Amino acid sequence: MRDHLQLAIAMQGSASPSEVMREIKKGSARLINMKGRHAGKVWQEGFWDRVVRDEKELVQKLQYM
């Protein structure tokens, strides 16, 4: 789908999902704007996170993606 991005991220350390997503969005927006030679907002505000509880659920989510 062209209007959203799905990621599977293994969290380590003390960073929160919000901090991780902020850095991903910030870095990727900078690169996208540089490559496209334009400036402006790339990502919408916010994100939706989901904790994967077990290996079966992880496999299901990865297959869906």
Reported as a pLDDT band with limits 50, 70 and 90, residue 4 is: confident
> How much is the pTM?
0.77
- 3 located within any domain: no
For residue 1, being part of any structural domain is answered with no
pLDDT grade for 20, boundaries at 50, 70 and 90: very high
- Number of domains observed in the structure of the chain: 1
Provide the percentage of residues in the chain whose pLDDT is more than 70.
97
Residue 5 lies in a domain: no
- Is residue 9 situated within a structural domain? no
Instruction: Convert 24-59 to b/e letters by CB count within 10 Å (16 or more is b).
Output: ebeeeeeeeeeeeeeeeeeeeeebeeeeeeeeeeee
Q: Which domain holds residue 50?
A: 17-64
In a domain, 25, yes or no: yes
